[in-house]
Structure 1
Amino acid sequence: MKVDESYVRSLSAQIERELHLLHIVESGWTIAYEWTETHAYIRLESKLTDEEVSAVQGQMRPNLAGVLADHIIADKESSILRNLLIKEFKYEAKEDLEAIEGYCKPAVYADTGMEDSPVLTNSFGIQRRRQVLVDQLMLALEETSRLSLDGFLHFRLQDYTDELREIAEYAIDEYMMDRQYQEFISLLQYFVYIQEAKIPIVHLIHKGGHEFVILNDRMELIDANEFDASFKMEMLEKDINFEDMIVSTLITVSPANIYIHTRDADMTIIKTIRQIFEDRTTVCSYCRTCDIYLGEAKKQDQLSP
């Protein structure tokens, strides 16, 4: 593959800016760049004496390694990750790749203060990956003063690639679970669609946490055993262990309308119910029934959309 000279020049300028900020250039070191038809090289040059070189190279190498590591993470990591997904995990469809890469992002940027990141092991952290790169770059710079960027990326990144492989595996697992979940939701939507409504109204009272009460239009407790559930249960339990009895009960009783009384409309199970029953659901947080079962709403609850 032919070297992109404009890219090499851009990288060169970036590295030089960083080295000036670190006062490496002023210490007597300069960075030279050269490229052949297929390879780009960074060459370290110094006007210092051997004694002076020994005195400053301990500072130069880790700083240069840090600059190059940051470059690899910023400019190369996404393409390395995509190549892993294509070559090792055999994902080629653009839609799949983009979706999986979306699941990679929280893991890729872990350790950077992303509050919405999932709970991940430290091995996924960006600082850990950066240190892996720095260590490998330090070794390479100790071996030669002429570093091939492409050669380093191809032959010296095993530990770094292993880190990205863990992220890819995590993202694929998340992607597959979410896809199965969406398929399951679609199945439940289908059941809801083909069933005729058995009762006109259900009031789903969310008292907080995982405590729910299901009432009919007369505000009486609903007994799901009174309804024919054989079709639903037989179909659902073949392939999927669906443990959420609230959703199971609602599908069994098949209401025409569901009024969800809650102070936490963003709770996952409530979002799931709304997704399954779609326009049959109405979320309420400040009606008379809410006041009776949930207590008087705070002012901010009443003002919320």
Structure 2
Amino acid sequence: MLLLSLGFTSDKCDVYEKINRLSSGFKDKGINIKFVENDDGRMHFIKCFVKDEDSLSCDLKDVKRRFDVHAANLIYEIIIDNYQMDIINRIIKNNYYYLKATEIGEISKKCADVLTGANLNTNENYMAFISMKNTIINKVHEYLSENTDIMIDGFLRFRLKDINMEVNEIVDRVVEEYLIEKEYNEFIKLLKYFVEIQESRIEIVNIVINIDGSYSMYDDNLNRISGEALKELIGDGLDGEQNLDDLLVSSLITMAPMFIIIHNAANIRNKEIIETIKSVFSDRVKICSGCDLCLKRNPAHKF
């Protein structure tokens, strides 16, 4: 009994490890599957048959149903492993042709990570991965339930046209994230340069993060740096409209201290602010693991 005739571009796919894995799983259940291969020069075909049908203790239709479930997952892996980069690169080159080759390469890799589940650092990426996987597997399984012959190139072109919309959405989001990250990195680079060329106005700034998440600053003698003291240090550079995070970063950049010590870091509400300070000031930043200022002088006053 023919279970599957799988056609694919011969110079594109290496499916043998996947086919052997599928065969081994059925062999463990007492069902032997044999393969017949042929090549017409451009396309390669693998046909899967049930071997020794007469000796089977289970119904052939049941074998086909079970085989189709596993084959759908196998074909999904082939599509993701061998065809996804062509789809991604085509979309990027059509929609974002103005990007540099290096940028296209980085974005393609990030998109591929989402589609393979290798980079699910956000809920959106996780949902995109699950949606894409379910869409492909369900459509392949639906097709195999009525057919034994499937040519992957043609199936992608005619049966999975709608996945291009999902891939488009993934590419758009990854490009947006990439450009935001690039803009952020360029901004950090500019701030680093500004800090490096500026003369330090104070040697040490101790940042104490209070229990409520607000910040207090002290100099190297553990004297509180108040709003008035800040004005003396940095002049009129403070904007009354700034939020606390912006005020902290802009104050530090203007003062350009030689060292920054952050106390009670666990109280921070916005975790990214510490990463921003580290990015701008690099090895000038130290995280205190416990001192008198942390343990005994965790003050209530705020900015």
- TM above 0.5: yes
Give the aligned partner of residue 86 of structure 1.
93
The structure-2 alpha-carbon separation of the partners of 1:140 and 1:109, relative to structure 1 and needing over 3 Å to count, comes to closer
Q: 1:178 aligns with which of 162, 178, 181?
A: 181
State whether residues 213 and 267 of structure 2, in contact with CA within 8 Å, keep that contact through their aligned partners in structure 1: no
Give the aligned partner of residue 3 of structure 2.
none
Shift of 1:139: 4.4
Alpha-carbon distance in structure 2 between the residues aligned to 1:3 and 1:55: 30
* 1:151 to 2:158 alignment: no
* 1:245 to 2:252 alignment: no
State how 1:208-227 maps to structure 2 within 5 Å.
Answer: 208=211, 210-218=213-221, 219-223=223-227, 224-226=230-232, 227=234
Give the aligned partner of residue 5 of structure 2.
none
Alpha-carbon distance in structure 2 between the residues aligned to 1:166 and 1:260: 40
The runs of 5 or more residues in structure 1 that have no matched partner are 296-305
Shift of 1:68: 1.3
Give the aligned partner of residue 259 of structure 1.
261
Shift of 1:178: 0.8
State how 1:158-173 maps to structure 2 within 5 Å.
Answer: 158-173=161-176
The runs of 5 or more residues in structure 2 that have no matched partner are 1-7
* 1:67 to 2:74 alignment: yes
Q: Which has the higher mean CA deviation after the structures are superposed, 178-187 or 154-163?
A: 154-163
AA of the residue aligned to 2:278: R
The structure-2 alpha-carbon separation of the partners of 1:4 and 1:263, relative to structure 1 and needing over 3 Å to count, comes to same
AA of the residue aligned to 1:167: I
AA of the residue aligned to 2:15: L
State whether residues 34 and 49 of structure 2, in contact with CA within 8 Å, keep that contact through their aligned partners in structure 1: yes
Aligned-pair Cα RMSD in Å: 4.0
State whether residues 219 and 225 of structure 2, in contact with CA within 8 Å, keep that contact through their aligned partners in structure 1: yes
State how 1:97-108 maps to structure 2 within 5 Å.
Answer: 97-101=104-108, 103-104=110-111, 107-108=114-115
AA of the residue aligned to 2:200: A
The structure-2 alpha-carbon separation of the partners of 1:56 and 1:102, relative to structure 1 and needing over 3 Å to count, comes to closer
Shift of 1:124: 0.9
Give the aligned partner of residue 303 of structure 1.
none
The structure-2 alpha-carbon separation of the partners of 1:282 and 1:12, relative to structure 1 and needing over 3 Å to count, comes to closer
Alpha-carbon distance in structure 2 between the residues aligned to 1:13 and 1:180: 43
Q: Match of 1:21, SS?
A: helix
Alpha-carbon distance in structure 2 between the residues aligned to 1:72 and 1:108: 11
Give the aligned partner of residue 285 of structure 2.
281
Shift of 1:34: 3.2
User: Which structure exhibits the higher relative contact order, with contacts defined as CA atoms closer than 8 Å and separated by 6 or more residues?
Assistant: 2
Q: Match of 1:217, SS?
A: coil
Alpha-carbon distance in structure 1 between the residues aligned to 2:211 and 2:87: 45
State whether residues 207 and 293 of structure 1, in contact with CA within 8 Å, keep that contact through their aligned partners in structure 2: no
Alpha-carbon distance in structure 2 between the residues aligned to 1:256 and 1:205: 17
AA of the residue aligned to 1:202: V
